[in-house]
Structure 1
Amino acid sequence: MFPKLALASLGILVISTYCIDITINSILDAEVKVASTQLDKMNYLLNNNLTWFFDFTTQPHYTYAPGSVVNGDAATFPASTNYGMTVALINLGPCGMLPPHYHPRGTNFVVAVEGVTQTWMIEENGAKIVNQTLRPWQMTIFPKGSIHSCTKATLVSALNSEDAGTQNILNGFAQLPPDIIAAAFGNPMGAFNLPPIPDVGTGSILGSAACLEACKGKM
């Protein structure tokens, strides 16, 4: 099965990524996982109001330039441990987009809040591409392991895993041995080199040349 495709906003949703979640308190996460009862967890581990509060806007890679994906999950929000959920805030600046990616451990329900976003998704060999245009308060689904992609727009994403993971397709592909990559392209004659691929960064990258041209002077 193929992974999910990235989102693109009409601001376009291609997101470059430092969208890698760093665990802020691994000891607390471990203790929450093994607490004997919910009461023990409430009274001894998560026993003040701040442990139950998460502010997306104060996270390190929150931005609209060109965009970002901020996850509230077990790594960044220990109180969410054991609930089997991640909530993500997706920000897309003008011509920002999420690169094609997938979540190996989570199905993704995405709701548009602001702006217009174009999305694409393909689930496996032989499956047709699903293309949606999302306006505020409209939703689509990216099944677990499907490839997906998205343009200024704001979306909220809910995944049925507290550790859904994200793999950007091209970033992962580029890590394969050169001869394997060449074989995937049919063993073309002569040297075969992939062009530079943007880092994972904040989760968003700049989108298509057509969008950049149309938005010139407006970004």
Structure 2
Amino acid sequence: MYQRIAVTAGLLVSTFTQHAVAVDKTRDPDMVANLVTAATQLDRLSVLCSDKDWLFDFTVQQPNYNFAPGGVINMNAATFPAAKGNGMTLAMLNLGPCSMLPPHYHPRASNYVVAIKGNTTTYMFEENGARLVTEILTPGKATIFPAASMHMMVNNGCDDAQLVSALNADDAGTQNVGNVFTNGFPSELVDAAFGQSMAGAAAAAKMIPVGTGSNWGTAECMKRCGVTPTTS
């Protein structure tokens, strides 16, 4: 048990300086605004007047659809106006060989995740005093991350992994933990809290820019799988 926590703590520390959780930009703010002010569902239907307004493509039509290292594609109020007001986000998670979703949490939603391909290890801490919850998700297996719980997902295999994620909010929000420490709180206070240099300009310079939602994982996995890191 202690060994498992130590290994996971090492993964967490190694990813504090990696920020690749995508930020969804609202694609059609005028349509979303009209849906918000619509008095009835019939009024909403007059805004969503075309069949194409009701179809979302998770696949190659999306800029984040890749497996090198991977990507998160969200169907939510920002990316799909029809989702506004329905209280749900549906996401496709692509994790290429040796990639991960770094430690993060969703402030406004609980998160159900089911694997449809590959082998993904998940880690979750819900709050102070709680134990580490570790699961291995293979096709047909699922887990839950309660609202605001810190979690991460890792593909330590040499094949692609893919999961579907459901969140009970159409604007769930995502906060990457590493970004808080390197580009958020005052660096001297972060360093004092950890008892070592964890923030400041040097760490911020190593921060991976906001990208498609996935990071490359450990050097050991990439060597074992013959993976050469690329920029997605």
- Which of 140, 144, 147 lines up with 1:141 in the alignment? 144
Q: Does 2:220 match 1:210?
A: yes
TM-score (norm 1): 0.87
Instruction: Decide whether the 8 Å contact of 1:22 with 1:76 is kept in 2.
Output: yes
Distance 1:217 1:84 in 2: 39
1:65-144 superposed matches below 5 A: 65-144=68-147
CA RMSD between the two structures: 2.2
Q: SS at the partner of 1:17?
A: coil
Corresponding residue number in structure 2 for 1:181: 190
Measured against aligned partners, the alpha-carbon deviations of 1:72-93 in whole angstroms (never above 9, x if no partner) come to 0000000010000000000011
The percent identity for this pair of structures is: 48
Q: Which has the higher contact order (CA 8 A, sep 6+)?
A: 1
Distance 2:108 2:178 in 1: 19
Higher helix share: 2
- Relative to structure 1, is the Cα distance of residues 217 and 108 closer, same or farther in structure 2, using a 3 angstrom cutoff? closer
Q: Does 2:29 match 1:26?
A: yes
Distance 1:16 1:187 in 2: 20
- One-letter amino acid matched to 2:128: N
1:94 Cα offset (Å): 0.6
Q: SS at the partner of 2:66?
A: coil
Corresponding residue number in structure 2 for 1:197: 207
Distance 1:187 1:24 in 2: 41
Corresponding residue number in structure 1 for 2:162: 154
Distance 2:125 2:21 in 1: 24
- One-letter amino acid matched to 1:173: F
Q: SS at the partner of 1:99?
A: strand
1:172 Cα offset (Å): 1.7
- Count of residues paired in the alignment: 204
Distance 1:117 1:149 in 2: 10
1:218 Cα offset (Å): 8.8
Distance 2:201 2:214 in 1: 27
- One-letter amino acid matched to 2:216: L
- Contiguous gaps of at least 5 residues in structure 2: 1-7, 12-17
Instruction: Decide whether the 8 Å contact of 1:22 with 1:75 is kept in 2.
Output: yes
- Relative to structure 1, is the Cα distance of residues 217 and 91 closer, same or farther in structure 2, using a 3 angstrom cutoff? closer
- One-letter amino acid matched to 1:178: S
TM-score (norm 2): 0.82
